[in-house]
Amino acid sequence: MEPYFTLNNNVKIPSVGFGTWQTPDGDAALNAIKTAVQNGYRHIDTAAIYANEKGVGMGIKACGIERKELFVTSKVWNTERGYESTLKAFEKSLKDLQLDYLDLYLIHWPAAAHQFDNWQQINSDTWRAMEKLYTEGKIRAIGVSNFLEHHLEPLLAKAKVSPAVNQIEYHPGCMQQNCVQFCADHNILVQGWSPLGRGKVLDHKMLQEIAQKYHKTVAQLCIRWALQNDVLPLPKSSTPHRIRENFDIFDFEISASDIASINQLEDLGRSGLHPDTIEF
Ligand code: A2P
């Protein structure tokens, strides 16, 4: 069975999630989910803005595994922030996914100072809706995505329910250490999006040398490395053999010195998406 992390409300979350960003809706999403579940994934990560919740939902229905064995995440998009809009957005996601509850629901990006004077209030209003849905039992855990310390602090000051998760960009050469440490201090699990740096880190020479030692690919090394740093990786692939490859990471352990070498890698750059500069 896939190992799991335990969230701050005691909900168990399978330790590698299947990412679906840029997976096209319809048969592509359906088949990706079926392939992932057949290969052992039990944790599926989507979002309203990915525009594939219908296909993901069809995959969940068709995958042959009971709903309660799966962990399904979605996210409220930036245009739907605020109390009433978030409640509505949640219902739409649920309907598109053909589900009657979500395991995890996230605020996709924080409202931030470069776009809104009242950004703190907007985030608190969105969060109140998340808390209501959580209290009503429609979501098993609630969290945020792409929040940095200075977005989390005012949210935490007003929250009745503390976020269980913060999903941020995380891969070798992009560790966001201050944010990860803040989350650890506040008992918030960090999930890593783009754990392969969108494929950019795969031809890095040192990573290739380390991966070879373990007879693994660089993709597998990156996923395992995130886990060993207590970050839950969300690798994305639409290609069946890569979907399989990215889950085949439970049979080896990276040594402490190799983890340290990877942790010390130079800045390999990030996707370019930053919560304090995004324009969407
Ligand atoms: P594809 O979906 O065509 O398989 P990230 O999760 O860091 O955002 O990276 C996703 C990108 O990396 C996608 O373009 C995906 O392509 C590619 N990818 C996913 N898994 C692997 C792998 N094991 N080896 C090489 N490329 C991969």
Band the pLDDT of 269: cuts 50, 70, 90: confident
CA distance 43 to 29: 14
Atom of ligand 1 nearest to the CA of 222: 7
**264 in a domain, yes or no?**
no
Q: What is the CATH number of the domain that holds 68?
A: 3.20.20.100
The answer to whether residue 118 scores a pLDDT higher than 80 is yes
**84 in a domain, yes or no?**
yes
Band the pLDDT of 47: cuts 50, 70, 90: very high
The CA-atom distances, in angstroms, between 218 and each of 15, 115, 199 are 19, 38, 10
**Per-residue pLDDT at 272:** 84
Band the pLDDT of 100: cuts 50, 70, 90: very high
Q: Which of 4, 41, 50, 134 is catalytic?
A: 50
What's the domain range around 65? 4-199+230-237
How many domains does one find in the chain? 1
- 18 CA distance to ligand 1 centroid (A)? 11
**Per-residue pLDDT at 81:** 98
Scan for tokens 């997976």, then name that residue: 23
**Per-residue pLDDT at 1:** 58
Residue ID of nearest Cα to ligand 1 atom 26: 199
**165 in a domain, yes or no?**
yes
**Per-residue pLDDT at 39:** 96
**10 in a domain, yes or no?**
yes
Read off the pLDDT of each residue in 145-174 and give the average, rounded to a whole number.
98
**275 in a domain, yes or no?**
no
**67 in a domain, yes or no?**
yes
The answer to whether residue 2 scores a pLDDT higher than 80 is no
pTM for the complete prediction? 0.97
Residue ID of nearest Cα to ligand 1 atom 2: 237
Q: What is the pLDDT of residues 51-78, one digit of tens each?
A: 999 999 999 999 999 999 999 999 999 9
**40 in a domain, yes or no?**
yes
* Active-site residue, 50 included: yes
CA distance 203 to 229: 22
DSSP string, 71-95: EEEEEE-GGG-SHHHHHHHHHHHHH
**63 in a domain, yes or no?**
yes
